[in-house]
Structure 1
C-alpha cells in the first residue's frame, strides 16, 4: 500500500493517463448503470498561473497553495441519450491546513456535479486514502480515493440530496500512461532490489 505525507504527494502520484470503469447504483430506482472514461491528470506547481487564478477566484491567498492538478475526462454511461456528453476539464488547487498538511481545502473552478466554482474539504485517512467532501447547493458528494497498487486506483462516491442518499458509485481506474513525475515518485517509493538483497 502506498503511503503519502500529504495530499500533494497523493495527486502527484495520480499524474498520468487512466482508464476508468465504473458502476453507479441509482438507489431510488434500484437500478445499476455501468460506464467508462479516459482521464488525464497533469500536476501543476503552486506558481502555475492556473493555480493562482483558482485561488483568486475563491478569494484565497495563492501563496498558501502547494499546487494542484489539471484533469480532463471523456466517457460514456450505459443509459446515455444521443445528446449527452460526459467530457470536461477542471483545474484544482490544494490549500493545506497550517497545522496539518494531511488535510485542507480543494478549490476547483468547476465542480463535477454543477458547473460552478466549488471548494471541498479533504483529508488523508489512517490508510492514506484521500477523502473528499464537496458541498453544492443541491447536494453533497462524499468521495474516497486509494491505490490498490501503483497503477490501480480505486474510488467510491456517494451523492446525498433532498435529505437522502441518491446514488453510489464504485470506480476502478487503471493507469495506462505514466507521467515523468509519477515514474520518479514510484521509483523512490518502491525501489528495485537485487535478488541478493542489495
Structure 2
C-alpha cells in the first residue's frame, strides 16, 4: 500500500469517537465528529492549487483528498468550533511511493498552510509527522477492518504541554471499498461485538 491507496481506502463518511488525554493535567475528555473524505486524483484543480501554494511542482503530486469534519468535545466552550475542511496533496519521494510529503492549506493544530512528512510502516499504517511553529504532531492511522479506521496521535507543544489522543472511526456510508472486495463480508457489528 502507498499513501494514495491509503486515502482512497479512507474515502467515504465516518463517525469518529475520540478520547484526548491532557497529560500535564492528568485529565481526559471525550468527543466525536462526523468526517467526510473524498479521494482526489492528480488532475483535480485543488491538488495543483495546494502545490502552488507551497511552491511545489504540481506534476510531482499523485493525488490526495478533500476532508470535511464537524464535531464537539466534552469541555467545549460556547464559542468553540470543531468544524472545517482541508485539502491534502500527496507528493511521494522519487524513489519510494511509501513515503513523501503531505501538503495542506490548513493544518489541524494551527490554521496555517503546512507540510507534513508521511510514510507507510511495516503494518501498512500511515504515519504522519507535522511540525508547526509551536508544536510537533505525530499521528498513526490504520485499518483493522475496511469499515474501521483507528488513529493515535501525540501533540508535543514546545512550551512543555502535551496531549495524547485515540480515535476510533467507523464507516457510516457502507460504500464498497476495494479492500472489502477481497475480504470476508463479516458485518461491522460482529467485528466490534456490538
* TM-score normalised per structure 2: 0.92
1:157 aligns with 2:157: no
Give 1:138's aligned residue: 134
State the Cα deviation string for residues 109-161 of structure 1 (Å, max 9, x = none).
Answer: 00001111000000000000100000000000000000010101000010001
CA distance in 1 between counterparts of 2:32 and 2:112 reads 24
Residue number in structure 2 paired with 1:87: 83
> What number of residue pairs does the alignment pair up?
185
Post-superposition offset of 1:162: 2.0
1:16 and 2:9 are equivalent in the alignment:
no
Q: Could you say which residue in structure 1 is the equivalent of 2:103?
A: 107
Q: TM-score, normalised by structure 1?
A: 0.90
Asked whether the 8 Å contact 1:158–1:165 carries over to 2, the reply is no
Residue 37 of structure 1 contacts residue 76 of structure 1 at CA under 8 Å; is this kept in 2? yes
Per the TM alignment, residue 185 of structure 1 is displaced from its structure 2 partner at its CA by 1.2
What is the 5 A alignment of 1:1-198? 4=1, 6-162=2-158, 164=160, 166-179=162-175, 183-190=176-183
Judge conservation of contact 1:152–1:175 (CA < 8 Å) in 2: yes
Distance 1:160 1:92 in 2: 22
**Unpaired runs of at least 5, structure 2:** 186-194
**Cα distance in 1 between the residues matched to 2:64 and 2:116:** 13
Q: Distance in 2 between matches of 1:132 and 1:109?
A: 16
Question: CA separation of 1:153/1:187 partners in 2, compared to 1, >3 Å: closer, same or farther?
Answer: closer
Q: 1:78-130 CA distances to partner (integer Å, 9 max, x unpaired)?
A: 00111111000000100000101100000000000111100000000000010
Cα distance in 1 between the residues matched to 2:100 and 2:106: 18
Structure 1 vs Structure 2 CA RMSD: 1.3
Q: Distance in 2 between matches of 1:175 and 1:185?
A: 14
Q: 2: CA distance between counterparts of 1:56 and 1:86?
A: 27
- The secondary structure found in structure 2 opposite 1:113 is coil
Distance 1:191 1:7 in 2: 24
Q: Distance in 2 between matches of 1:189 and 1:49?
A: 32
Mapped partners of 1:146, 1:134: distance in 2: 18
Gaps of 5+ in 1: 193-198
